[in-house]
Chain A
Amino acid sequence: MIRALHRWPGLLAFVLLTILAVSGAALSVFPAAERLSVPQAAAELNVAELAERIHAAYPGVEQIRRAPSGKVTVYWFDQGAPGAAVIDPATGQGVSSADPNPIQRWLTRLHRSLFLGDGGRIAMAAGALAMLVLSVSGAILVARRAGGWRRWFARLRGPLPGRVHVEIARVAVFGLALSAATALWMTASTFDLLPDGGATQALPTEVSGETGVALAAIPTLSVVPVMELRALNFPYPGDETDVFTLKTDGGTGYLDQGTGALLGWNDLTVWERVSETIYMLHTGQGASLLGLVLGLMALGIPVMGATGLAIWLAGRRGRPRIRGNQPAGKAETILLVGSESGSTWGFAATLHRTLSAAGQRVHVASMAAFDSLRYARGQRIIILAATYGDGDAPASARGFLDRLAGLDHAPDMPLAVLGFGERSFPAYCAFAEQVVAIAGEKGWSMLLPFDTIDRQSPQEFARWGHRLGAALDIQLELIHEMVLPETQTLRLISREDYGSEVQAPTTILRFSMPGASLWQRLMGKGFERFDAGDLLGILPEVSTVPRLYSLASSRKDGFVEIVVKKHPSGLCSGQLTALEPGDTVTAFIRHNPVFKPGRGSKPLILIGAGTGIAPLAGMIRGNTRHRPIHLYFGMRHPASDYLYGEDLARWQKDGRLAHLATAVSRGEQPNYVQDALRAEGAELSRLVRDGARVMVCGGRDMAAGVAGVLAELLAPDGLTPIGMKAEGRYVEDVY
């Protein structure tokens, strides 16, 4: 609901809001520029003195106005000809023209009415209302995504458009909500919907009938500082019934032109005060710094619009059409999908296609549509579930848990649950786990043990398919084709072989940079933007399923490097490790924003074993700013699989690597990287206390072992790897 309330106003109002934001941001500059450019009155100057000066310079003065910026404008008649000028309060003399700035006037009309009069004002007010709805619904979504209001500024993860969108939103939302709310108030005021019009002035009926009081002799004028002046109107020459009209921040008063006596005073009404404050907050006139800040925040709108559109399109693109979907009442297999960005639907489509091809009747629906009474011929329910944020239900699974918990008894057909997520998130597959837990409480029988798929791995999905096939007693080959990014051809420059003596044949492969089109260069697409820790997708020959390898180099290095261990029956690793310089592969870049060292000068603790060294070595290679890096590296034998051994020694010498600890698992005293960590436990916990960031890359068992050791070491400080993960200070790249 909140999501829809965010999406549709956003898409509809994108263009309108962009015009509002850009013109508003441009307008925000004017009050500040005016504040800085006009001559300011001295603090002790009073209105009587100012009026005297001006009257001396312009004997025909009719009105003196002071803007909140301090700009004093004088209007006069000189022998029947009107004149106006901005004056210097110190001299009373004109310094510049009083005509409105044509650019500012043009922008103002665009901003408030699109040059379309009242219809345009209403359209722009609708834009402001949309902005307000977007701000409120967006704030709820940000809080939900971060895992609570208190974690408003928590570190963000996930694809770039989403992060940019939220990164801007959580700062700008306050300004945008303020601008939108004040805009609505001002529109209401313009259309006379608020009782904030000027109070009907009770004009003085009794005047002395004399004229010609000296300005300096008017006591009221000499007690009002110029800072509080808004306007002073002079009586018409020759009209002895007329009066001086004085407007200040406090109200309006009338002064006799013969005696100077105060004839009457009206305070500003509460409504007028509120409206003026709101006008100031919206326009920055009288609060130019705030105006600039609001203008800057408004510039976030076009960016949020574009990224919001990108998020929406990605969600749509990722959701494939399911061909031949069976009605719920006729299907044997019920496939329920809980997807956030749409990628899980792709897996559901693959599973649906494969099961249908094997003769099954399959019904695919979102988890939100779960209704156990409709599955008359159902024999099994399979749930494919992603997780949103900190363990919440993804978009297409809203309400599922409540409905499941509300059942009297579990459906009498067995259940299989497959979770989708990224291990680097603290709440990896947490929603799927909740589903399993509640199903367990209900006594729902399981068709397959709970399983998970990390980072949309087609291989893991295929393996799970085999287990599902075995349970159903059919041959099930799940070939999931990801929507592949544009691939390019990479040419091998060099290879270095390690580890064959210790049954771990491993090769460092270095490819040359592929050529890039102008578009790719401009947009930083393809191989024009990548860093160590991003992933290289390789399409092996005779397969459409890519394998992902961590990159050991960045764009700056000018080459593309990965580390590949040859698996006995591995299709891709076999092909890669057989490459000779000059051979080519088909590849693409998959960004992995989570597994990055991040900016800052706090120490980095890098922990890896085997081929897990690849991204870590790339980060050390790129550490020309000499951030303190501590590397813990596990290998089998230094004489055989000491990957990057010479490089590490060189980097240590030139300061890129502060500290190196290795663990050797073959030999007299087998040692694992966990043991190396434990041996330096005191130093490690000191580093973590000082804000160090931990990055772990390697096999799943090793990562689990490392997390266990660190949990022990950090417990006395009240820190846990899980807590650090939530802060984004502990990241893993596990395979």
Chain B
Amino acid sequence: MKTILAALALSTALVLPGLALARPVTLTTTLNNYGGNGAYLAFYVSDASGAYMGSLWMAGGKSKYYGHLTDWHRVTAGDLSQINGITGASVGAGRRLEITLDLADALFDAGYTLHIDAAVEDMRESPNEVAVPLTTDGAGNSVRGRRYIADFNYSM
């Protein structure tokens, strides 16, 4: 189990004017035993129209592999400044990643969607592995990913 505490880990795009209020949100991601090397995971948010808003976390340290997180790479054009200071290690098969972030209140119940892209060496890329709307009611609900994520939820 990994617990990562980030005091203010919002990328600049998410710090909108007037978003002074924030609360700690814990993202818990458990991977299934897919039988491969550590997974790279990109956590990011899009708005109601589907446009990229900002990144929350990047699990995986080597930028040369970020291209395999295809959706994230597509919407950010691989811009490393999007994840400056919010990267960690990749997550092994069967392991759990827990990230606690201070997220702006305005992100919830406003049509924003949290996406996770996943990629594993020599295995299929899984963009949009998880896509969940950010709502106060949705907190604590478990979601299953498409290929690698056995269980994902966010709690406040």
Taking CB atoms and an 8 Å cut-off, the chain A residues in 231-270 that contact chain B are: 233, 236
Does A63 lie within 8 Å of B67, measured CB to CB?
Answer: no
Does A190 lie within 8 Å of B146, measured CB to CB?
Answer: no
Q: Does A200 contact B (CB under 8 A)?
A: yes
Q: What 1/0 mask marks residues of chain B from 59 to 96 whose CB sits below 8 Å from any chain A CB?
A: 00111100100100110011000000000010000000
For the complex, give the distance between the alpha carbons of A192 and B61 in Å. 10
For the complex, give the distance between the alpha carbons of A347 and B64 in Å. 62
Does A190 lie within 8 Å of B70, measured CB to CB?
Answer: no
Contact A200:B77 (CB < 8 A) given known A82-B147, A192-B63: yes
Least CB separation from B78: chain A residue:
A200
Q: What 1/0 mask marks residues of chain A from 178 to 200 whose CB sits below 8 Å from any chain B CB?
A: 00000000000111100011101
Does B62 lie within 8 Å of A191, measured CB to CB?
Answer: yes
Does A80 lie within 8 Å of B146, measured CB to CB?
Answer: yes
Does A100 lie within 8 Å of B64, measured CB to CB?
Answer: no
Does B78 lie within 8 Å of A189, measured CB to CB?
Answer: no
Contact A63:B124 (CB < 8 A) given known A192-B63, A201-B77: yes
Q: Does A77 contact B (CB under 8 A)?
A: yes
Does B64 lie within 8 Å of A189, measured CB to CB?
Answer: yes
Least CB separation from B64: chain A residue:
A197
Q: Does A359 contact B (CB under 8 A)?
A: no
Q: What 1/0 mask marks residues of chain A from 45 to 64 whose CB sits below 8 Å from any chain B CB?
A: 00000000000000000110
Q: Does B13 contact A (CB under 8 A)?
A: no
Does B146 lie within 8 Å of A192, measured CB to CB?
Answer: no
A105 CB contact (under 8 Å) in B36, B63, B67: B36
Taking CB atoms and an 8 Å cut-off, the chain A residues in 655-697 that contact chain B are: none
Does B37 lie within 8 Å of A84, measured CB to CB?
Answer: no
Q: Does B125 contact A (CB under 8 A)?
A: yes
Q: What 1/0 mask marks residues of chain A from 195 to 231 whose CB sits below 8 Å from any chain B CB?
A: 0111011010000000000000000000000000000
Taking CB atoms and an 8 Å cut-off, the chain B residues in 26-77 that contact chain A are: 35-37, 61-64, 67, 70, 73-74, 77
Least CB separation from B34: chain A residue:
A99
B124 CB contact (under 8 Å) in A75, A109, A117, A118: A75
For the complex, give the distance between the alpha carbons of A294 and B52 in Å. 47
Does A100 lie within 8 Å of B35, measured CB to CB?
Answer: yes
Q: Does B122 contact A (CB under 8 A)?
A: yes
Least CB separation from A203: chain B residue:
B74
Least CB separation from B71: chain A residue:
A236
Q: Does A406 contact B (CB under 8 A)?
A: no
With a cutoff of 8 Å between Cβ atoms, the chain B residues found around residue A600 in the complex are none
Q: What 1/0 mask marks residues of chain B from 117 to 129 whose CB sits below 8 Å from any chain A CB?
A: 0000011111010
For the complex, give the distance between the alpha carbons of A507 and B11 in Å. 97
For the complex, give the distance between the alpha carbons of A706 and B125 in Å. 78
For the complex, give the distance between the alpha carbons of A63 and B127 in Å. 12
For the complex, give the distance between the alpha carbons of A192 and B62 in Å. 7
With a cutoff of 8 Å between Cβ atoms, the chain B residues found around residue A201 in the complex are 73-74, 77-78
Distance to closest chain A CB from B34 (angstroms) = 9
B146 CB contact (under 8 Å) in A77, A191, A203, A236: A77
Q: Identify which of B64, B70, B77 gathers the most chain A CB atoms within 10 Å of its CB.
A: B64
Chain A: how many interface residues by the 8 Å CB criterion? 27
With a cutoff of 8 Å between Cβ atoms, the chain A residues found around residue B146 in the complex are 77, 80, 82
For the complex, give the distance between the alpha carbons of A380 and B56 in Å. 83
Does B35 lie within 8 Å of A99, measured CB to CB?
Answer: yes
Does A100 lie within 8 Å of B74, measured CB to CB?
Answer: no
Least CB separation from B61: chain A residue:
A118
For the complex, give the distance between the alpha carbons of A203 and B61 in Å. 24
With a cutoff of 8 Å between Cβ atoms, the chain A residues found around residue B147 in the complex are 82
With a cutoff of 8 Å between Cβ atoms, the chain A residues found around residue B64 in the complex are 189-190, 192, 196-198
Does A82 lie within 8 Å of B37, measured CB to CB?
Answer: no
Contact A109:B37 (CB < 8 A) given known A63-B124, A192-B64: yes
For the complex, give the distance between the alpha carbons of A190 and B89 in Å. 14
With a cutoff of 8 Å between Cβ atoms, the chain A residues found around residue B89 in the complex are 117
A82 CB contact (under 8 Å) in B67, B74, B78, B124: B124
Contact A197:B35 (CB < 8 A) given known A84-B124, A233-B70: no
Does B125 lie within 8 Å of A63, measured CB to CB?
Answer: yes
With a cutoff of 8 Å between Cβ atoms, the chain B residues found around residue A109 in the complex are 37
For the complex, give the distance between the alpha carbons of A196 and B62 in Å. 13
With a cutoff of 8 Å between Cβ atoms, the chain B residues found around residue A568 in the complex are none
B123 CB contact (under 8 Å) in A100, A189, A190, A233: A100
For the complex, give the distance between the alpha carbons of A498 and B78 in Å. 93
For the complex, give the distance between the alpha carbons of A288 and B146 in Å. 34
Distance to closest chain A CB from B7 (angstroms) = 25
Does A82 lie within 8 Å of B70, measured CB to CB?
Answer: no
Does A197 lie within 8 Å of B124, measured CB to CB?
Answer: no
Distance to closest chain A CB from B149 (angstroms) = 11
Taking CB atoms and an 8 Å cut-off, the chain A residues in 66-125 that contact chain B are: 75, 77, 80, 82, 84, 98-100, 102, 105, 109, 117-118
Q: What 1/0 mask marks residues of chain B from 98 to 130 whose CB sits below 8 Å from any chain A CB?
A: 000000000000000000000000111110100
Q: What 1/0 mask marks residues of chain A from 448 to 484 whose CB sits below 8 Å from any chain B CB?
A: 0000000000000000000000000000000000000
Distance to closest chain B CB from A92 (angstroms) = 18
Does A105 lie within 8 Å of B77, measured CB to CB?
Answer: no
Least CB separation from A117: chain B residue:
B89
Distance to closest chain B CB from A54 (angstroms) = 15
Least CB separation from B120: chain A residue:
A100
For the complex, give the distance between the alpha carbons of A236 and B125 in Å. 13
Least CB separation from A101: chain B residue:
B122
With a cutoff of 8 Å between Cβ atoms, the chain B residues found around residue A233 in the complex are 70
Distance to closest chain A CB from B44 (angstroms) = 16
Distance to closest chain A CB from B33 (angstroms) = 12
With a cutoff of 8 Å between Cβ atoms, the chain A residues found around residue B63 in the complex are 192, 197
For the complex, give the distance between the alpha carbons of A105 and B123 in Å. 11
For the complex, give the distance between the alpha carbons of A77 and B145 in Å. 13
For the complex, give the distance between the alpha carbons of A660 and B67 in Å. 79
With a cutoff of 8 Å between Cβ atoms, the chain B residues found around residue A200 in the complex are 77-78
Least CB separation from B79: chain A residue:
A200
With a cutoff of 8 Å between Cβ atoms, the chain B residues found around residue A105 in the complex are 36-37, 122
Contact A100:B122 (CB < 8 A) given known A80-B146, A191-B62, A233-B70: yes
For the complex, give the distance between the alpha carbons of A191 and B63 in Å. 9
18 contacts between A and B (CB under 8 A): A62-B124, A63-B124, A75-B124, A80-B146, A99-B35, A100-B35, A100-B36, A105-B37, A109-B37, A117-B89, A189-B64, A196-B64, A197-B63, A197-B67, A198-B67, A201-B73, A203-B74, A203-B77
**8 A-B pairs with least C-beta separation:** A75-B124, A82-B147, A197-B64, A198-B67, A100-B122, A200-B78, A200-B77, A84-B124
Chain A residues close to B by CB (< 8 Å): 62-63, 75, 77, 80, 82, 84, 98-100, 102, 105, 109, 117-118, 189-192, 196-198, 200-201, 203, 233, 236
Using A100-B123, A203-B74 as known contacts, list a sample of 8 further A-B pairs with CB atoms less than 8 Å apart, ordered by residue number in A.
A82-B146, A100-B36, A105-B36, A105-B122, A189-B64, A196-B64, A197-B63, A197-B64
Chain B residues close to A by CB (< 8 Å): 35-37, 61-64, 67, 70, 73-74, 77-78, 89, 122-126, 128, 146-147
